[in-house]
């Protein structure tokens, strides 16, 4: 008798198999009781009938507990009414580990703090399982998109000696009697990669000490950051929108069951096909004014502003050419309007906020040097960065896509903490 997994049952119909897993639920009807088994690949209804299994197995009904680890043996049958479309006619159940305490997470409603404190167990729930599977597909889609389009993965360091987007959101660490920081972004290092390889990307954790308690912020999150030599703003926006379109299509191809389990309106995702609308910061400001926002021109958009803007479109909207004074020091200015930076933010539909931020980088060494000084940043830690403009400088662009915000949008979650296995916020450092 071969051992298989729940997701492979379509290849085992009418065969006797063994499946290792955990008890998800059980119920009884007369001389029959049902065990819902999970094995990490899916859920399976196992039917235990008196007389069709050994007596010890049938007598487990009142003894077996949620999250007992078991090996279940039996015959695979097609059953469209059952979860997953298959069921197992049980011949034997072997208990590997019997839980002696009641499982903390029951069917009743639990508060957020309780679930977060039990995150290591909450991951076993159907909802969290679906979200993590979708996250996995998004990560795979991102890597496939860049790998299949000629990009080279260049890992950026986690420890850095300089900031990327300002010093107020840095996590400082003691680095052998020197000051170092956990990275906010791998972008600066990708600029070095782009001049060596043409098109590069990094994909890893970033850290920002933002004292924010909104549903959109984490202190530790994952970001993919491509950088491309000889690419200007418009082409950069095309790369970004095509990436998002590719992610959506991959999820729709591989995660329909998970999306349905989350009650996600799939029709809203099916509409996400590039090209996306592109508007300037000035045009966005006008839209906000017309819709009653108290937004002040020259400021960054708040969450409510982004929601208003997203409501005007059924696709992500790309907002470009921002006031230079609210963008990072490395952003190139518009040659026609020096007060504007060639930056772009992509705002997701349905009020999920910014999912992409990027733009064209300043390629002139003198302008960049002055910009570093203007932002009151020390020159010494950026000498290597200035070298990139000294030796073979070219127009170049890139962007960062926040993984958790994309997961939140695609899954339709209410809070970003659901989108990462073990979220880190101002109030949460464990488990």
> How confident is the model at residue 166, as a pLDDT?
61
Question: Which letter does DSSP use for residue 292 in this model?
Answer: T
Are residues 85 and 189 both part of a single domain? no
For residue 106, the model assigns a pLDDT of 81
Q: What is the pLDDT of residue 337?
A: 96
Digitized pLDDT (tens) for each residue of the chain, 431 residues in all:
899 999 999 999 999 999 999 999 999 888 899 999 999 999 999 999 999 999 999 999 989 999 999 999 999 999 999 988 999 999 999 999 999 898 999 877 889 899 999 999 999 999 999 999 999 999 999 999 999 999 999 999 999 987 666 667 899 999 999 889 999 999 999 999 999 999 999 999 999 998 887 888 899 999 999 999 999 999 999 999 999 999 999 999 999 999 999 999 999 999 999 999 999 999 999 999 999 999 999 999 999 999 999 999 999 999 999 999 999 999 999 999 999 999 999 999 999 999 999 999 999 999 999 999 998 888 988 999 999 999 999 999 999 999 999 999 999 999 999 999 999 999 899 99
**Do 149 and 281 lie in a common domain?**
yes
In a shared domain, residues 146 and 206: yes
The angle formed by the CA atoms of residues 51, 56 and 62, to the nearest 5 degrees, is: 100
For 29, the enclosing helix (H) or strand (E) is strand 16-29
Q: Are residues 180 and 233 in the same domain?
A: yes
**Are residues 154 and 69 part of one domain?**
no
pTM reported for the whole predicted model: 0.94
Region of 298 on the Ramachandran plot (φ > 0 left; ψ -120 to 50 alpha; else beta): left
Residues 242 and 327 in one domain: yes
| Residue 361 shares a structural domain with residue 248 | yes
The pLDDT value given to residue 167? 64
Do the Cβ atoms of 115 and 383 come closer than 8 Å? no
Clarify whether residues 42 and 166 are in a common domain. Answer: no
Domain C-terminal end among 41, 67, 97: 97
pLDDT at 165: 65
Q: What are the structure tokens assigned to 279, written together?
A: 């508007």
The residue with tokens 């504007």 is 340
DSSP string over 203-233:
EEEEE------STT--SEEEEEEEEEET--H
pLDDT of residue 84: 86
> Minimal CA–CA distance to 225: which of 407, 342, 399?
399
Do 349 and 210 share a domain, yes or no? yes
Domain that holds residue 74: 2-97
Q: Are 51 and 167 part of one and the same domain?
A: no
Indicate which CATH number applies to the domain containing 69: 2.40.50.140
**In terms of domains, do 133 and 272 share one?**
yes
Contact 255, 146 (CB under 8 A): no
**Are residues 153 and 224 both part of a single domain?**
yes
Specify the number of domains making up the chain.
2
């Amino acid at each position: 008798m071969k051992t298989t997994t729940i997701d492979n049952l379509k290849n085992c119909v009418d065969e006797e198999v063994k499946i290792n897993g955990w008890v998800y639920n059980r119920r009884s009807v007369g001389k029959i009781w049902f065990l819902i088994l999970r094995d990490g690949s899916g859920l399976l209804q196992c039917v235990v009938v008196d007389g069709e299994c050994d007596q010890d197995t049938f007598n487990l009904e009142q003894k077996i507990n949620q999250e007992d680890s078991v090996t279940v043996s039996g015959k695979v049958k097609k059953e469209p009414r059952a979860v997953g479309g298959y069921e197992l006619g049980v011949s034997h159940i072997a208990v590997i580990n019997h839980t002696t305490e009641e499982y903390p997470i029951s069917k009743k409603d639990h508060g957020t703090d309780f679930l977060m404190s039990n995150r290591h167990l909450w991951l076993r729930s159907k909802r969290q399982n679906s979200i993590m599977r979708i996250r996995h597909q998004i990560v795979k889609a991102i890597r496939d998109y860049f790998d299949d389009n000629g990009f080279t993965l260049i890992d950026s360091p986690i420890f850095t000696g300089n900031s990327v987007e300002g010093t107020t959101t840095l996590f400082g660490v003691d680095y052998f009697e020197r000051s170092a920081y956990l990275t906010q972004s791998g972008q600066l290092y990708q600029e070095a990669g782009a001049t060596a390889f043409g098109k590069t990307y990094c994909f890893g954790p970033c850290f920002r000490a933002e004292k924010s308690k909104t549903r959109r912020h984490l202190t530790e999150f994952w970001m993919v950051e491509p950088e491309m030599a000889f690419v200007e703003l418009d082409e950069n926006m095309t790369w970004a929108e095509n990436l998002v379109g590719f992610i959506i299509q991959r999820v729709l191809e591989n995660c329909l069951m998970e999306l349905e389990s989350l009650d996600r309106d799939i029709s809203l995702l099916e509409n996400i096909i590039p090209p996306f609308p592109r508007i300037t910061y000035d045009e966005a400001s006008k839209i906000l004014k017309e819709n009653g926002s108290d937004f002040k021109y020259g400021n960054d958009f708040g969450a409510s502003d982004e929601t208003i803007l997203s409501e005007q479109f059924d696709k992500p909207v790309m907002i470009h050419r921002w006031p230079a004074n609210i963008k990072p020091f490395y952003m190139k200015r518009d040659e026609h309007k020096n007060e504007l930076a060639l930056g772009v933010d992509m705002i997701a539909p349905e009020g999920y906020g910014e999912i992409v931020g990027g733009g064209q980088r300043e390629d002139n060494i003198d302008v960049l040097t002055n910009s570093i000084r203007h932002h009151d940043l020390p020159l010494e830690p950026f000498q290597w960065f200035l070298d990139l403009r000294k030796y073979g400088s070219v127009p170049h662009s890139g962007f960062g896509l926040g993984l958790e915000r994309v997961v939140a949008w695609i899954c339709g979650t209410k809070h970003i903490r659901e989108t990462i296995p073990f979220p880190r916020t101002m109030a949460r450092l464990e488990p």
